[in-house]
């Protein structure tokens, strides 16, 4: 066999949870068989938690950030920005090679954008764009009000290719906010920074402003490549024109538009999944009820939108933004009722994850969830601050809409913004002209991850794969295609906690949940005795979110070692169907980032553990029961879910007793829907979830947005004709047009045959 090691990436250390006791504790005693189909008819034990046993302490360290002692120091101390810096960011450069210094950008309210290398010894900056009053160009920003000027900067996801970058600035005559696209070029010499092309800007959006304050200003591209724009309520006090609750104005909202392919005639388009498309309200609006959302950000790991909304006189708030949600202003300020003349019910307003009053601060500055490497103590914490009080906090979410802690960690005078560099390291910006970075507390470093599978404590006998008490083995109805690997699965939930059940869609899991998937491969096809253990993957739900870890089994097959990054390995497979009776199969071990590229936030991160997949029988060591009924019996769910016979159950794709359509849709749901669903990371508007009607999947008769595969008039699914359906054709390929793009090196012949038969049977 041959092994190819990918370029190692730093493996993020988890910080403090040592001694966490996980435990769903199945010890089912399985004296239970009534209730929901599949039981064996044994007298049921009383419903409750009495059978749950503690899971052995795992070797994973506590991942809950403990920000005590985190420092804040001056960064790039030879640089000073005298034009009122308001934002810090970075962007890719096509000339850069691995290890090259990235370019950093600072936007100033007075109208200039500075660029300089990510080098602590940098002594000067260059100007990418000058919109200041002294600019020789035809455009300059208006600074009639303290909250006007150059307010936002965002780089196109394809900046390294197209050079596009976007700014938000204030203009006068009449007073308005302008979102404009500029273009940079890259000098041949990679030591020189990008420069503006000098092309006339493309005006993307203009919004009239009745007053000079509450212009918001933040711009950002989401992981979906859509363009998000924060607009304040238009100013003055108490939202006199009631923009916040008016869906027929862009003010007081977070907007979401598509600027790909923008032209002067059509500077943007509306994503089809925006919440008010086809309904009352402006199509650009993604969420509303905001007062002055000065800064928001996307979590690099989960894609969640975290936003700081500046308050009036009672509350400052941090919100997690969701599609179509109302955040209450002006009827509510934070969690408090304000001017609610329309009697807006509290139940129709999304509560902030944290709100604070004037004793803590007066102007919230939204920040970022820390996903860098240099300050492991902060890992997963949301860092934000307040301009008025100078305070900076680290908020640790609990993963279920609340928080575990909210620590005051530092102070910075005139704090106006936060920003990330190319590695996800976090910086704070002072309006006084300086940049600052966070530092790890001195003293004992956080414990390392367990380096071997045996050190995790997941198995009391690793050789026999005997799970620790509290790990429940389970199986799924429609397994993901994994290149003919044989798989086993386990789940553990912490004692005293339970799962948020959903009849369809993803379930909710408490901090401390662990999922384990084990892979083996037959080196001789059809001979179980030739199986080789490849890897055991661990998904851990910690205070920072979900993380994936891969343990590769050693050659002696006695234990598995934690991989620092992605790895590929070639195996010789004895296969009578292959030319010469054998073939080479490449196995791809995923990196942590690759784990999260499939375990997407839109899909709820956990893919196999949901109602349609778990609603099936399982042999618990000689006693067979329906998994949903058994889990319900031991109190694994927050509520009694009732009879599993009334719940959806996906068929196995090879189940001849199920309909062809149900089998095909189950296959697509388990193999494709983690990316192809609303708010998912895949381009286009496909929705391949099992419960989505065929006509609403965005596939049948739809033209592909990319990858025509040489066809003259292709369709994603051409009903009755699989040969003109790019969905089916991509399943046949192993090149860059392949689906799935990662994690597989073999065509799933049975799956392809199933989907092809289903497409051919669709009415034309």
DSSP letter for each residue of 461-495 = ETTTTEEPTTPEEE--SSPPP-TT-EEEEEEE--T
User: CA–CA separation, 131 vs 139, rounded Å?
Assistant: 6
Closest by CA to 759, choosing from 707, 711, 701, 709, is: 701
What does each C-alpha distance from 702 to 261, 672, 684 come to in angstroms?
A: 19, 17, 10
Beta-strand ranges (E) seen in 398-457 are 403-411, 415-420, 426-430, 435-439
Token pair, residue 85, equals 């810096």
User: CA–CA separation, 104 vs 115, rounded Å?
Assistant: 6
Q: Which helix (H) or strand (E) holds 164?
A: strand 164-171
Q: Residues 390, 439, 543, CA angle at the centre, nearest 5°?
A: 85
Helix (H, G, I), strand (E, B) or coil at 58: coil
User: CA–CA separation, 335 vs 354, rounded Å?
Assistant: 9
User: CA–CA separation, 344 vs 569, rounded Å?
Assistant: 59
Token pair, residue 764, equals 């034309």
- Round to the nearest angstrom and report the end-to-end CA distance of the chain: 48
What does each C-alpha distance from 166 to 76, 183, 237, 470, 604 come to in angstroms?
A: 25, 9, 29, 52, 31
User: CA–CA separation, 591 vs 587, rounded Å?
Assistant: 13
The contacts of residue 279 (CB under 8 Å, 6+ apart) are none
Q: Which helix (H) or strand (E) holds 587?
A: strand 582-589
Average pLDDT for runs of 10 along the chain of length 764: 32 23 32 33 34 59 67 95 96 87 95 97 97 83 89 97 97 95 97 96 97 94 96 94 97 98 97 95 98 96 94 95 97 96 95 92 95 91 93 88 88 94 95 94 73 94 92 96 96 88 93 93 97 96 78 97 92 96 95 78 89 95 91 92 96 96 97 87 83 95 83 94 95 86 89 97 94
Fold of 71-439: Neuraminidase (2.120.10)
The contacts of residue 341 (CB under 8 Å, 6+ apart) are 331
User: CA–CA separation, 349 vs 703, rounded Å?
Assistant: 38
User: CA–CA separation, 129 vs 136, rounded Å?
Assistant: 11
User: CA–CA separation, 708 vs 726, rounded Å?
Assistant: 7
Token pair, residue 502, equals 């959903």
Q: Would you say the pTM of this structure is higher than 0.75?
A: no
Contact 207, 226 (CB under 8 A): no
Token pair, residue 557, equals 């097959």
What does each C-alpha distance from 109 to 390, 426, 549 come to in angstroms?
A: 19, 21, 43
Is 192 buried (19+), middle (13-18) or exposed (0-12) by CB count in 10 A?
exposed
The contacts of residue 186 (CB under 8 Å, 6+ apart) are 93, 94, 95, 163, 194
User: CA–CA separation, 639 vs 369, rounded Å?
Assistant: 31
Token pair, residue 437, equals 């970075």
Do β-strands 466-467 and 459-461 pair in parallel, antiparallel, or remain unpaired?
Answer: antiparallel
Residue extent(s) of CATH 2.120.10.30 domains in the chain: 71-439
Helix (H, G, I), strand (E, B) or coil at 756: helix
User: CA–CA separation, 642 vs 640, rounded Å?
Assistant: 6
Beta-bridge partners for 222: none
Q: Give pLDDT, residue 55.
A: 60
């Amino acid at each position: 066999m041959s092994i190819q090691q990918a370029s190692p990436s730093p493996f993020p250390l988890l910080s403090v949870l040592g001694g966490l006791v996980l435990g769903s504790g199945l010890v089912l005693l399985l004296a239970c068989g009534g209730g929901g189909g599949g039981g064996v008819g044994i007298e049921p034990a009383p419903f409750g938690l009495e059978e749950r046993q503690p899971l052995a302490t795992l070797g994973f360290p506590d991942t809950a950030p403990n920000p005590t002692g985190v420092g804040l120091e001056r960064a790039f101390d030879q640089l000073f920005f005298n034009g009122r810096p308001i934002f810090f960011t970075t962007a890719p450069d096509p000339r850069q090679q691995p290890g090259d210094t990235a370019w950093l950008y600072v936007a100033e309210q007075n109208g200039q954008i500075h660029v300089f290398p990510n080098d602590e010894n940098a002594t000067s900056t260059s100007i990418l764009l000058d919109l200041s009053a002294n600019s020789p160009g035809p455009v300059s920003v208006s600074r009639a009000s303290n909250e006007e000027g150059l307010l936002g900067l965002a780089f196109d996801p394809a900046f390294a290719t197209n050079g596009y970058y976007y700014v938000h600035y204030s203009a006068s005559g009449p007073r308005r906010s302008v979102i404009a696209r500029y273009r940079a070029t890259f000098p041949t010499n990679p030591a020189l920074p990008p420069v503006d092309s000098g092309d006339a800007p493309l005006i993307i959006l203009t919004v009239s402003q009745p007053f000079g304050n509450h212009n918001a200003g933040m711009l950002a591209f989401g992981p979906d490549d859509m363009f998000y724009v924060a607009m304040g309520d238009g100013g003055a006090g108490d939202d006199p024109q009631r923009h916040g609750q008016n869906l027929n104005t862009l003010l007081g909202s977070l907007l979401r538009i598509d600027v790909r392919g923008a032209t002067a005639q059509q500077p943007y388009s509306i994503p089809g999944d925006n919440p008010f498309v086809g309904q009352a309200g402006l199509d650009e609006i993604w969420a509303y009820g905001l007062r002055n959302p000065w800064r928001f950000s996307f979590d690099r790991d989960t894609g969640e939108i975290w936003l700081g909304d500046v308050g009036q006189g009672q509350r400052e708030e941090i919100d997690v933004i969701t599609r179509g949600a109302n955040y209450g202003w002006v009827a509510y300020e934070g969690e408090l009722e304000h001017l609610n003349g329309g009697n807006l019910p509290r139940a129709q307003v999304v509560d902030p994850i944290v709100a604070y009053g004037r004793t803590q601060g007066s102007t919230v500055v939204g920040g970022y969830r820390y996903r860098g490497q240099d300050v492991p103590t902060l890992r997963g914490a949301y860092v934000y601050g307040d301009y008025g009080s100078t305070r900076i906090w680290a908020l640790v979410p609990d993963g279920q809409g609340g928080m575990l802690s909210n620590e005051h960690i530092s102070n910075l005078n005139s704090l106006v913004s936060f920003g990330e560099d190319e590695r996800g390291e976090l910086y704070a910006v002072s309006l006084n002209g300086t940049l600052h970075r966070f530092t790890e507390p001195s003293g004992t470093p956080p414990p390392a991850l367990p380096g071997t599978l045996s050190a995790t404590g997941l198995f009391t006998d690793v050789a026999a794969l005997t799970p620790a008490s509290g790990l429940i083995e389970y199986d799924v109805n429609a397994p993901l295609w994994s290149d003919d690997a044989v798989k086993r699965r386990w789940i553990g939930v912490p004692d005293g906690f339970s799962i948020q059940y959903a009849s369809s869609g993803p379930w909710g899991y408490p901090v401390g949940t662990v999922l384990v998937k084990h892979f083996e491969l037959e080196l001789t096809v059809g001979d179980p005795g030739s199986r080789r253990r490849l890897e055991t993957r661990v998904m851990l739900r910690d205070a920072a979110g979900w993380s994936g870890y891969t343990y590769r089994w050693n050659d002696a097959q006695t234990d598995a070692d934690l991989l620092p990054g992605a790895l590929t390995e070639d195996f010789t497979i004895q296969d009578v169907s292959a030319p010469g009776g054998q073939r080479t199969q490449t196995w791809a071990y995923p990196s942590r980032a690759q784990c999260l590229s499939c375990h997407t936030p839109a899909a709820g991160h956990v893919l196999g553990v949901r109602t349609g997949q778990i609603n099936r029988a399982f042999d618990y060591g000689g006693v067979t029961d329906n998994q949903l009924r058994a889990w319900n019996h031991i109190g694994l769910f927050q509520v009694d879910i009732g009879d599993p016979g009334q719940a959806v159950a996906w068929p196995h794709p090879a189940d001849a007793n199920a309909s062809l359509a149900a089998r095909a849709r189950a296959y697509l749901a388990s193999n494709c829907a983690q990316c192809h669903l609303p708010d998912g990371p895949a381009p286009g508007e496909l929705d391949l979830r099992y419960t989505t009607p065929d006509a609403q999947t965005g596939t049948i008769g739809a033209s592909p947005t990319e990858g025509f595969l040489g066809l003259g008039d292709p369709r994603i699914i051409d009903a009755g004709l699989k040969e003109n359906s790019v969905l089916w054709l991509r399943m046949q390929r192993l090149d860059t047009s392949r689906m799935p793009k990662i994690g597989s090196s073999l065509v799933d012949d049975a799956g392809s045959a199933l989907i092809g038969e289903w497409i051919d049977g669709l009415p034309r």
